[in-house]
Amino acid sequence: MKVLVPVKRVVDAYVTPRVKADGSGVETENVKMSLNPFCEIALEEAIRLREKGIASEVLAVSVGEVKVEEVLRTALAVGADRAVRIEAPRQTEPLTLAKLLKSLVKKEEVGLALLGKQAIDGDNNQTGQMLAALLGWGQATSVSKLEIEDGKAQATREIDSGLQVRAMVLPAVLTVDLRLNEPRYASLPNIMKARKIPIEVLTPESLGVEVVERVKTLSVVEPAKRESGTFVESATDLVAKLKAVKVL
């Protein structure tokens, strides 16, 4: 079973994003960029499935300009077998992404798609579900535990009021949550080796997908700043202050 793992290059989770002065978006030049943490977890899970003999191949894919090959190199260094970049403008909408991925799934005869549940830049949480819909596959989102046996997956999902275990028929799309696993680090020799693995480049045209803008970003601004607060001396003072502003 071939496993597809889409990976996204995003502003590093430990960097505080800064809004551009012209209001067109968030600054991504000269900012530390990394593999989206949720994609990292999906990739780790796929590699573990291969190590257990359940997956035959882990195929990493990223959509974007040449720069996104950085995260594909990272994916190769931690253990992806192959990497594909789909050439596209920097911000591709989830539905277009899902169409590109669907086409790749068909082309590569993928049996399982593992995705991060969201990217920490757009915070959309859409692509996996859309991919499942377009493929006519089942979906399990926010998966925090996964067991696969005899062509069936048992996925534990984080839901609003607790946990839900869903038995899934494969093929399926699974989106992963934070507690599924702890991703490994790439070793230096593997990082060096990954530099030499060729990355296949595809275009939306070759996948039969038209890239269109369906939602336009009009402006991006900083959120309202909170006024700075004050320190209190004791818990008793804190209660008094909270009572004074009538929230207790």
Nearest approach in angstroms of CB 124 to another protein is 5
30/236 with CB nearer another protein: 236
Tokens linked to 248: 């207790």
183/197 with CB nearer another protein: 183
Pairing mode, strands 172-176 and 138-149: parallel
Contact in structure between 228 and 111 (CB atoms under 8 Å):
no
Nearest approach in angstroms of CB 55 to another protein is 20
Nearest approach in angstroms of CB 95 to another protein is 5
Nearest approach in angstroms of CB 108 to another protein is 20
Task: Give the C-alpha separation, 44 to 143, whole Å.
Answer: 13
Beta strands in 91-159 (DSSP E): 112-116, 138-149, 152-159
Nearest approach in angstroms of CB 182 to another protein is 10
50/102 with CB nearer another protein: 102
Contact in structure between 200 and 82 (CB atoms under 8 Å):
yes
SS3 for 207?
A: coil
44/81 with CB nearer another protein: 44
Task: Give the C-alpha separation, 119 to 156, whole Å.
Answer: 21
77/98 with CB nearer another protein: 98
Nearest approach in angstroms of CB 225 to another protein is 9
Nearest approach in angstroms of CB 64 to another protein is 17
Task: Give the C-alpha separation, 67 to 74, whole Å.
Answer: 12
CB atoms within 10 A of CB 170: 15
Contacts of 85 (CB under 8 A, 6+ apart): 61, 62, 63, 64, 66, 68, 69, 72, 199, 200, 201, 202
22/227 with CB nearer another protein: 227
188/210 with CB nearer another protein: 210
Task: Give the C-alpha separation, 246 to 238, whole Å.
Answer: 12
